[in-house]
Homo-oligomer: A and B are copies of this chain.
Amino acid sequence: MAETFEITYLVTVQQGEQIDQKIEGICLEQSAELPRGVLSDEIQKKVVGEPIRQERLTEGAYEVTIAWPSADVGDDISQFINILYGNISLQPGIKIIGAEWAALHPRLFCGPKYGIQKLRKRYAVPERPMSATALKPMGSSASELADCCYRFARGGIDIIKDDHGLANQDFAPFEERVKACVSAIEKAAESTGRRSCYYPNVTSFASEAVDRYRKAAELGADGVLLCPHIAGLETMHRLARLDIDLPIIAHPSFSGGLTTIGKQGLSPDFLYGQLWRALGADFVIYPNKGGRFSFTLSECKAINEAARSGDSPFMSSFPTPGGGINMETVGHWKSEYGNDVVFLVGGSLYEHPEGIRTASELLQDKLKT
């Protein structure tokens, strides 16, 4: 076989299904999409996936690795997604859990531009976990959001991002909002002597996301937020490859169908920790255990591990758990997740009786100890 890349699957067979048949089905479905009987020997060798490993985990559950000819994909990330989880997304009992990234880098994927160490240096936070929060609620004016941004910045929050629901609505149009929030960040820095970072949301149609990314840089923002499952997965890759010096926070909006469906989909650590990292996410937001969402502790730790792993051709991504993190619990999460993490804290700062600025200061104190 010529040059290949490997994908690893968790394959579950139902009553009446045979594992070997199911694997053969994946090999054909995702390539020639015809029964083997009508394929020439040449086509079979040239395009059909080849199973190279199979391990029985429990009754009916197997970890399976298939090698795919690189020529099936060419230099096209869209076609990679198609091979990865195209038609088989419609079939039960097939879950993607790994990929051989070294064989896909740098031809297809280039990873994050910065990596945790460069981001720590850039923001002068050498060791402790970082903090992030979101500007909201939608419906506020640009100056109301900027005021909120100012108070978070005065309290020392490291990264202040737009809520992912802030797009270009009349309430607070993109450009007006970015200008106001950058000013707020600068004003706060004059008082504190340390600049917090502002990351506006650029999620939109692909070409507009590119325009907003450029505009954010022009207007002095420190990075951007993107929902890759809405803007398009490849949009993140394109932004990360532009010659614009702004890190990207990836947000999981609209991705839940892929990662929360038991025996189907992409494992959370594969999607948020591996694929997003490959696509260039500098920070990967994921729903933390105990928040409003539904991942388990071991799933969260697996995302962290995948995003930070040195066993990857890419720079690392900063794991950014959100949900269920507040002043009382942040110490617990620090001991669970270690220091190389950004804690996304939202509602509890807004709800604090002493106000946003004091709440932010208290949170920063907790991160330093």
Q: Which residues of A contact B (CB under 8 A)?
A: 25, 29-35, 37-39, 42-43, 46-47, 71-74, 76-79, 81-83, 85-92, 134, 136-140, 163-165, 167-171, 203-207, 227, 230-235, 238, 252-261, 264-266, 287, 292-294, 346-347, 350-351
Is A43 within 8 A of B140, CB to CB? Answer: yes
Distance of A32 Cα from B148 Cα, bound (Å): 14
**For A77, what are the chain B residues with a Cβ–Cβ distance below 8 Å?**
205
Which of B92, B165, B351 lies in contact with A294, CB distance below 8 A?
B92
By beta carbon, the residue of chain B nearest A166 is B79
**For A90, what are the chain B residues with a Cβ–Cβ distance below 8 Å?**
252, 255-256, 259-260, 287, 293-294
Is A87 within 8 A of B253, CB to CB? Answer: yes
For this chain, the copies found in one complex come to 2
Distance of A305 Cα from B128 Cα, bound (Å): 56
Chain B proximity of A234: nearest CB distance (Å): 5
Is B256 within 8 A of A88, CB to CB? Answer: yes
Is B257 within 8 A of A232, CB to CB? Answer: no
By beta carbon, the residue of chain B nearest A84 is B254
Subset of 12 A-B contacts with CB under 8 Å? A33-B346, A47-B171, A72-B138, A78-B203, A78-B227, A79-B165, A82-B203, A86-B254, A87-B256, A89-B252, A90-B293, A257-B258
A79-B165, A167-B74, A206-B235 known; A38+B351 contact, CB < 8 A: yes
**For A32, what are the chain B residues with a Cβ–Cβ distance below 8 Å?**
136-139
Is A205 within 8 A of B231, CB to CB? Answer: no
By beta carbon, the residue of chain B nearest A163 is B33
Distance of A287 Cα from B86 Cα, bound (Å): 12
**For A203, what are the chain B residues with a Cβ–Cβ distance below 8 Å?**
78-79, 82
Distance of A86 Cα from B32 Cα, bound (Å): 34
By beta carbon, the residue of chain B nearest A227 is B82
By beta carbon, the residue of chain B nearest A268 is B90
By beta carbon, the residue of chain B nearest A32 is B137
Is A206 within 8 A of B207, CB to CB? Answer: yes
Which of B43, B78, B230 lies in contact with A167, CB distance below 8 A?
B78
